[in-house]
Structure 1
Amino acid sequence: MNTLYTWIGNTDIKNMQQNEHAAISTIALQNPQAFDRIFIFANDWESDWKPYEKWLIKLLREASRPYDNVAIFKANIAGPTDYPTIIRETEKWISKLSEESEELYINITSGTPAMSVASVLVGKGKHNTYFIQSKRDNTIEKVDVPVDFGETYVKSAAKSIADKAVKAPSSHKQFDNITAQSQIMRSLITKAKRVAESELELPALVLGETGTGKEVIANAIHAASPRAGKPLKTVNCGALPESLVDSILFGHVKGAFTGANEKHEGLFEQANGGTLFLDEVGELTPSVQVKLLRALQQGEITRVGDKKTITVDVRIIAATHRDLLELVEQGEFREDLFYRLAVGLLHVPPLRERLEDIEPLVLELVDELNQAANKYPGYQSKNISEKGIKFIKSQPWHGNIRELWNTINRAFLWSDAETITDVDIRNALIIRNPTTDESDVSLSLGQRVDINNLVEKYKKKYVKAAMKAAGNNKTKAAKMIGLNSQQVITKWIEALGIEIE
């Protein structure tokens, strides 16, 4: 027994009234194998159902095709675009008709896109279903949908998780959504808001260690500024090829160099009216620094290979993890450019200086990971234990939020448990070997240095750091700094007058 399953569309009804063919009648009459049953589903135009049935039966009779089992059924759905009820109804009927038929043909032309999508999703799971559609010239064709939806979904979900894991945590935040429970962060946000809302729209320079969230601050400044509705363009100056940096920032004219086959607008023009975020601005070459200074001072740029200047209205936000003043002293960064950028000077503190923010930050990162992974079939949301959070607070996090993000990612990956423990976090850490200062020591004649004080100072620093990292476990702390036993580190603590929290 061959069955046709179809929704009815507005075109089917209108063409019937003009005695013209549309998708359902075309398929019913032209399919090489005649249908023993035609099941039509509808949720509208109820007054036209009976006339349509009679019209289709008449056409089938005239074509000497089976016409005894043609019927329109009212679909129990909330509306023509309500996916949950459409899929529920589709699953019910396609499953029933598939079991009763040798071959089940599904018309994917008629009805709303939601109805067609549901028909394909459900029909792909049945062994004896075929998809069929009509074309504008009233011919029909079978449709091959070469997709395993289950496998494709799992791959897509897995890719989503992988993409989320390798990317930084979400950076599209305004000030109100930035975690700032610590006093040092609240002070930063207050200053950044003033920079953002300043009527003068002055340049800003965001300083901070790698991974502290300088781009988050830059995004928030733009989002809270009068330029929020205009473009925000971002470029990592350290990743710009030296031969192309001028072209990327300022653009070029056709024929300016080999391969310049057409005019190109640089980032300054693309950001016109908005904001240009120059990350790692300390990596720019001296020649580009001169052009950047001119753009800041005069609002003018010149494309590579061009003679005329172009006026641009761009707010510059720059960022770097490097010590720009030291680069100025070394002659690697222009002093006038530094002071031009540093009008709105902001320091993003390292994670170890904002302990009050660590727990809410961890909860945010966990929530982001769970949201990404929840699309994966069978995934169970995870959380971090109190001991796990306490251990996280004890670590120095030299890579700051980026290192914390990646560590939590690894802990989620390695553990199958719903609760991530301090042991899981410890196992997910990438152990760093402490750097040693191997530079030569030089002394001037007559200069005095108390070597014992220096040694005592370093011993004190490393003992305190080891105890903090080990959660005040003396045995573990002793091993970290190469001592034989906890008794030795206890003597050092007493001798050095170290107070342990």
Structure 2
Amino acid sequence: MATLISWLGKADIDHMKLDHNAALASIALKSATPFDRIIIFGSAWEEDWEPYKAWLRKRLAVANRPFQDITIQRASLTSPIHYPSIARFTQRQLHKALEQDSHLTISLTSGTPAMITMAVLLGKSIGSCRFVQSSEKHGVEEVDIPVDFAAEYQRSSLQALQTSAAGMPKLDKAFDKITARSRVMQDVVDRAQRLALTDALVLVLGETGTGKELMAQAIHAASPRATKPFRAVNCGALPENLVDSILFGHVKGAFTGADKEHQGLFEQADGGTLFLDEVGELPLLVQVKLLRALQQREITKVGAMQSEQVDVRIIAATHRDLFEMVATGDFREDLFYRLAVGIIELPALRERRDDLPELLSLLLEEINQQLTTHPQMSRKHLSEDAINFALEQVWPGNIRELWSTLHRAALWANTPEVTAENLQAAQLKRPRQSADALSLDSIQLPQDIQQVIDTIKKSAIEKALTQTGGNKTQAAKLLGLANHQTLANWMKSVGLMPSQSDR
């Protein structure tokens, strides 16, 4: 199959209206090899596309050349001379064309200089592409471009890497703000560093307060996009009637109050990274549009007739169970698998005890800097017993809870030293679940009530041990028991720990 690819120029349209051949028609009609397929890129004069295709088909049929397979692909460009958008569109279309035909012919006559330049650069990267041009003096002729871009790139790549090394993002520096003394966090940071060097989509999972946005910022700072914008949005806080506008933008007059054009977050982050926090909160209709933006790398502003191309890396995050949401139909399965390319699972604070002392020091230093604006507040430091007390706690709110508790303790401490008593007093007291809150609907009578109680006790113990990483002292606190020995007795009674007679 022989395929011709060409931009549609103003001259092609004007000559068509006079029933004359311009460059595109001349190449299609006079090439030594007839084309089985003609793909035309159009960015303007859309009202003339169908008339042009009908006119060209008629001309080809009269010349006894293939005429059935002629398409015009809409190119959503920032402008006819905007190299990035032209490059993205051309590259995507060339790859699509190559899926059906390994030998492409590219016209170098129609289109703007920017369009022709990108056609040459991208076409030369595909060894089987040939180039043709048309003029009144020389007619249709094949063009030999005597530059091997692949060889030139290979020759200069080492020098380019050496000269640009100073400007490359530094992985260690980018992740400096992330405390990783524990083995589990070191593994997480290692995976994140690997992902940072790619352009893969990233999904950050973890409980509330584990530092998902901080991880996203580090990945961006260590990526080739580090010098480009980083934008962040909490999807759960977006007003439902404005989600489209905030993410994708709107044109003037799109709705009441839209008195001027607005750039959405995708457009603001063009070339950089967009962090979608709590992506599981997006409405299903917006999930469809997000999926299209990721697949097509283009967006449509509210009220706009045409799409615009964008180059944005997405880092999404959520504390919700997306697998369960997919199963219940609350989150699109195709979007989930599109996002879940590079998955980073942030551990809860209870799973990274070795990080706590350094985290306490860093957070307290941050708090001290804030306190310097209050002349009557002095710098604080943690006592040894305060650190030990913090190590014994579960911190279900993770780093966010640790920070707020430490902040309150520093504010309320009457001396420069923050003690264990200060931390304990600063902790928020969680209300215990009342008996009325436990549903008894599932209990069928007659029933062995002791067996029911043991089942509930066993389930509660297992949950507490899971949340505390197996720490019995902390699990006992979660269950409201006096000490870990009482917990051990409970575990024996429900078969979670062998008794002495069983050993």
Any gaps of 5 or more consecutive residues in structure 1? 1-172
- Displacement of 1:396 in angstroms is 0.9
Identify if the C-alpha distance between structure 1 residues 471 and 360 changes in structure 2 by more than 3 Å, giving closer, same or farther.
Answer: farther
Deviation at 1:465, TM superposition (A): 9.8
The 1-side partners of 2:375 and 2:470 are apart by: 37
Match of 2:304 in 1: 306
Matched residues in 2 for 1:442 and 1:383: separation? 52
Q: 1:182 to 1:254 in 2, by over 3 A?
A: same
Question: Is 2:192 aligned against 1:192?
Answer: yes
What is the rounded CA distance, in whole Å, between the counterparts of 1:358 and 1:313 in structure 2?
39
- Using the alignment, how far apart are the partners of 2:487 and 2:442 within structure 1? 32
Aligned to 2:234: 236
Which structure 2 residues correspond to residues 142-221 of structure 1 after superposition, within 5 A? 174-198=174-198, 201-221=199-219
Counterpart in 2 of 1:125?
A: none
Deviation at 1:417, TM superposition (A): 1.0
What is the aligned partner in structure 1 of residue 283 from structure 2?
A: 285
Query: Deviation string for 1:44-76 (max 9, x for gaps)?
Result: xxxxxxxxxxxxxxxxxxxxxxxxxxxxxxxxx
State the shift of 1:313 in Å.
0.2
The answer to whether the 8 A contact 2:202-2:343 is kept is yes
* Distance apart, 1:488 and its partner CA: 6.7
Q: CA deviation at 1:393?
A: 1.0
2:418 aligned with 1:417, yes or no? no
SS in 2 for 1:259: coil
Change (3 A) 1:318 1:492: closer
Looking at structure 2, the residues matched to 466 and 345 of structure 1 have their Cα atoms a distance apart, in angstroms, of 22
1:183 Cα offset (Å): 1.0
Give the 3 Å change call, closer, same or farther, for CA 424–468 of structure 1 in structure 2: farther
- Deviation, 1:460, is 4.5
Relative distance call for 1:443 and 1:414 in structure 2 (3 A) is closer
CA distance in 1, matches of 2:368, 2:214: 21
Q: Which residue of 1 aligns with 2:334?
A: 336
Cα deviation digits, residues 220-271 of structure 1 (max 9, x gap): 0000000000000111111111111100100111111011111111111110
Question: In 2, Cα distance between the equivalents of 1:368 and 1:319?
Answer: 25
Q: Distance in 2 between matches of 1:462 and 1:186?
A: 26
Q: Does 2:344 match 1:346? A: yes
Contact 1:464 1:498 in 2 (8 A): no
Deviation sequence 1:455-480 (CA, Å, 0-9, x none) = 45247458979999999699xx6997
Amino acid at match of 1:191: R
In the TM superposition, residue 487 of structure 1 has moved relative to its aligned partner by 9.5
CA RMSD of aligned residues (A): 3.6
In the alignment, is residue 406 of structure 1 matched against residue 407 of structure 2? no
Corresponding residue number in structure 2 for 1:457: 458
Pair 440,230 (structure 1): closer, same or farther in 2 beyond 3 Å: farther
Kept in 1, the 8 Å contact 2:210–2:348? The answer is: yes
* CA distance in structure 1 between the aligned counterparts of 2:271 and 2:400, rounded to whole angstroms: 31
Q: In 2, Cα distance between the equivalents of 1:487 and 1:203?
A: 48
Residue equivalent to 1:74: none
Q: CA deviation at 1:182?
A: 0.8
After TM superposition, list the pairs within 5 Å mapping 1:414-453 onto structure 2.
Answer: 414-435=412-433, 438-439=438-439, 442=442, 451=452
Q: Relative to structure 1, is the Cα distance of residues 461 and 210 closer, same or farther in structure 2, using a 3 angstrom cutoff?
A: same
* TM-score normalised by structure 1 residue count: 0.58
Residue 326 of structure 1 pairs with residue 327 of structure 2: no
Amino acid in structure 2 at the alignment position of 1:454: T
For 2:275, what is the secondary structure of its paired residue? strand
Q: What residue is the counterpart of 1:265 in the other structure?
A: 263
**Cα distance in structure 1, aligned partners of 2:339 and 2:369:** 38
Give 2:480's aligned residue. Answer: 481
User: Which amino acid is the alignment partner of residue 184 of structure 1?
Assistant: V
Whether the 8 Å CA contact 1:299–1:311 is kept in 2: the answer is yes
In the other structure, the counterpart of 2:368 is 370
Q: What is the DSSP-based 3-state SS (H/G/I as helix, E as strand, rest coil) of the residue aligned with 2:258?
A: coil
Question: 1:353-400 CA deviation, whole Å, 9 max, x = no partner?
Answer: 100001100000111111222343354211111111111111111110
Residues 364-373 or 485-494, more deviating: 485-494
Please give the TM-score of this superposition, normalised by the length of structure 2: 0.58
Amino acid at match of 1:194: R
1:45-60 correspondence runs (5 A):
none
Measure, in 2, the Cα distance between the counterparts of 1:460 and 1:282.
Answer: 30
The separation in 1 between residues aligned to 2:478 and 2:320, in whole angstroms, is 33
User: Do the aligned residues in 2 keep the contact of 1:235 with 1:277 (CA within 8 Å)?
Assistant: yes
* Structure 1: distance between partners of 2:247 and 2:481: 51
Gapped regions of structure 2 (runs ≥ 5): 1-172, 499-503
Match of 1:92 in 2: none
Alignment CA distance shift 1:248-1:386 (3 Å) = same
Aligned partners of 1:440 and 1:347: how far apart in 2? 36
2:379 is aligned to 381
Work out which of the two has the higher radius of gyration on C-alpha atoms and give 1 or 2.
1
Against the structure 1 CA distance between its residues 339 and 353, is the aligned structure 2 distance closer, same or farther, given a 3 Å change threshold? same
String of CA shifts for 1:386-437, please: whole Å, max 9, x gaps: 1111111111111100000000011011111111111110000001124577
SS of match in other structure, 1:206: strand
Taking a change above 3 Å as real, the CA distance of residues 335 and 468 of structure 1, as seen in their structure-2 partners, is closer
Letter in 2 for 1:235: V
Give 1:415's aligned amino acid.
A
